[in-house]
Structure 1
Amino acid sequence: QKPQELRGSAVLITGCDSGFGLHLARCLDSRGFVVFAGCLCPEGEGAQSLKRESSKNLKILKLDVTSEEDVQKAKEVVQANLPEKGLWAVVNNAGISDWAEIEWSTIDDFRTMVDVNLFGCIRTSIAFLPMVRASKGRMVYVSSIFAFFTCLNMGAYSVSKRGLEAFADCLRVEMASFGVKVSIIQPGNFGPATSIVRTKTGSEIWEKLNKERKQTFSQQYMELASDYFKSTCSSGFKDRQMVIDAMLDAITSSRPKYRYLLVSTFDMFFFYTCPYLPTFITDAIFFLSPMYHKRKEMLYSK
């Protein structure tokens, strides 16, 4: 279908409390779509501002993607309010981020990350796929460059996003038989443009470590890691429009891309080739990081 023919079609977006989800919801509403904006906190400022500033065609849904009950209730609301053109797309945007080395993390840290970023998408997809299949529409997944790029302190996040991409790739192959197209959005560093980045001090991490870990890692390194992470995040894209444009293309283009890699022009070549490079080369790039060498010097047990 042509973009103008999609006016009046419905799109469900998860994670509309802030960031990409909130702005995509506004954008689609202004283009004549019926928007179901899934929000973790429907009474929160983000959801309420969306409600105030949008047309009557935008509906706020309470949607915690980790809750089967929320997902099923949202499905009932969507089915009861579905426009004549049906549900054209689901944008799986809800996600969380955190940072920590693997040994600073607990199994619950990994479980929380995966439950939102991976199982949340799977739970939502399974519920809404029949409606999207009926319209031969689109499934869109917001991933990250960390799905394929190894970075210090992003272990749990990478696990969740790599799993998400595996799911989306499998779904794309299965859905091709039904005319449903599946796209993956891979943003780079958009920390300043969203509220997904969680800030915490080195002291906060240090206090949670057991005695054994404290004999391996120094508090000085924790503070350095915290400062480095904050500095890296603040140096990212401040404008979210590149991501919104990619989402719009995935929803409206007659030939959407399988993947939308969203990094600077300077970084584009490296990130395009990264998944295909031999492991010893990508590891070597990782080891060349000045931060990695500072870390090695500060460890108690080497």
Structure 2
Amino acid sequence: MIRPSGVSRKDRRKNPRKSGELVVVSGASSGIGAATAGALASMGYHVLAGVRTDSEAEAVRAEGIEPVTLDITVPEHVQALARRIADDPERRALRVLVNNAGMEINAPVEVLPLALWREQFEVNLFGHITVIQQLLPFLRRSRGRIVNISSVGGVAALPVFGAYAGTKFALEAASDSLRREVSAHGVQVVVVQPGGVRTEMAARSGGLSLQLAAAMSTEHQHLYGRLINATVASNAAFLERALPAAKAGAKIARVATRRRPRARYTLGTDAAFIIPLNRFLPARLTDTILTMSHRSRKPRSASTPAPESAGTPS
């Protein structure tokens, strides 16, 4: 069971139990999503926590957290969630939607199969748009808030991150348009840009990259093998000191409930450094800085399994 953590007593005093308000968090089975659901429940909200399996549902079920089956790429799941909110037995309003569900598979643009490009866009972009379209009427009624979990990769695209970063760039753009479209309706749209966070998705990503690298042609091995191995090694080393998911979730919960939020927030020192760097420095200088650490890492064989801590910002 998930026990709310990362929220201070001061925050709990400021946010007594909101018995009349619902919150939806997608991708709530682990990592940032589970931590965000726990933090919001501890503030007093009733959280509809999106999970995909019965075992995940039992793992997250707790006071104030109601698991709901939600694969955001399945329209029937999203429609069922909308019916759950419309038919709420206590007639509670939907206050916040946190779009957190995501996936990440990294490989060079030339190498990553188009099917995996499309799958990442289905999950990281189109799935969120589907949820927004279904739930926006409820949020308009409550003058609620949408929190889209983007990434530092939505502003600065590192080598090998092309597909994942592409989904996040697109989510950033859609969020800007949406914010300008619905502000007059009383609905707020906020983007959160995490850098490196220690999550299961981040831990799996490096291993997936190495598996794809091992299946590359001889030519692609020669062209990209060293880059992929160095990128995975660099990210694995970084994640050892990255932001814990509990701290990320607590901050997202505060952003989700802040009276007058900004349009964007960063999570982690790397995001706070890389985003301004990418914005203000010439592109070629930024290229040099962002690839420097990859060149300094000792590469690992593409067929060698990645350690559990290997991963990427999410």
Among candidates 39, 44, 50, match of residue 32 of structure 1: 44
Query: Residues 175 and 203 from structure 1, CA distance in 2 versus in 1: closer, same or farther, beyond 3 angstroms?
Result: closer
Report whether the alignment pairs 1:18 with 2:25.
no
User: SS of the residue aligned with 2:260?
Assistant: coil
Q: Deviations over 1:81-109 (max 9, x none)?
A: 26444101100010111221112201111
Query: How far, CA to CA, are the matches of 2:18 and 2:232 in structure 1?
Result: 45
Matched residue of 1:291: which SS? helix
| 2:15/2:43 contact within 8 Å kept | no
Rounded to whole Å, the distance in 2 between the matches of 1:187 and 1:152 is 18
Q: What's the counterpart of residue 307 of structure 2?
A: none
Indicate conservation of the 8 Å contact 2:17/2:45, yes or no: no
- Structure 1 counterpart SS, 2:110: helix
Which one-letter code corresponds to 1:157 in the other structure? Y
Q: 1:127 to 1:212 in 2, by over 3 A?
A: same
- The aligned length equals 285
Q: How does 1:177-216 map to 2 (within 5 A)?
A: 177-190=184-197, 192-197=198-203, 198-200=205-207, 204-210=211-217, 212-214=219-221, 216=222
Is the contact made by 2:35 and 2:248 (CA closer than 8 Å) also made in structure 1? no
| Distance in structure 1 (CA, Å) of the matches to 2:104 and 2:282 | 28
1:171 counterpart letter in structure 2: L
Distance 2:210 2:37 in 1: 38
Partner of 2:247: 242
Q: Which is bigger in relative contact order (C-alpha 8 A, separation at least 6)?
A: 2
Unpaired runs of at least 5, structure 2 = 1-13, 300-314
- The residue number in structure 1 matching 2:284 is 280
* Amino acid in the other structure paired with 2:289: I
What is the identity, as a one-letter code, of the residue corresponding to 2:257?
Answer: T
What is the match of residue 173 of structure 1?
Answer: 180
In 1, distance between residues paired with 2:38 and 2:88? 19
Percent identity (aligned): 27
- How far the C-alpha of 1:124 sits from its partner, in A, is 0.6
Is residue 2:223 matched to residue 1:217?
yes
Give the CA deviation at 1:129: 0.4
3-state SS, counterpart of residue 162 of structure 1:
helix
Question: Aligned with 1:64: secondary structure?
Answer: coil
Task: State the TM-score, normalizing by the size of structure 1.
Answer: 0.84
1:231 alignment partner, one of 215, 237, 256: 237
Does structure 2 retain, via aligned residues, the 8 Å contact 1:94–1:117?
yes
Per the alignment, residue 141 of structure 2 pairs with 134
Distance 1:225 1:271, change over 3 A: closer
Question: For residues 276 and 89 of structure 2, what CA distance do their matches in structure 1 show?
Answer: 39
Query: Partner of 2:94 in structure 1?
Result: 87
TM-score (norm 2): 0.81
Separation of aligned partners in 1, 2:103 and 2:125: 10
Post-superposition offset of 1:76: 1.2
- The reply to whether residue 66 of structure 1 matches residue 73 of structure 2 is yes
Taking a change above 3 Å as real, the CA distance of residues 219 and 276 of structure 1, as seen in their structure-2 partners, is closer
2:163 to 156, 167, 182: 156
Matched, 1:8 2:20: yes
Distance 1:218 1:70, change over 3 A: closer
Can you give the 5+ residue segments of structure 1 that lack an aligned partner in the other structure?
A: 296-302
Which range is displaced more, 223-232 or 64-73? 223-232
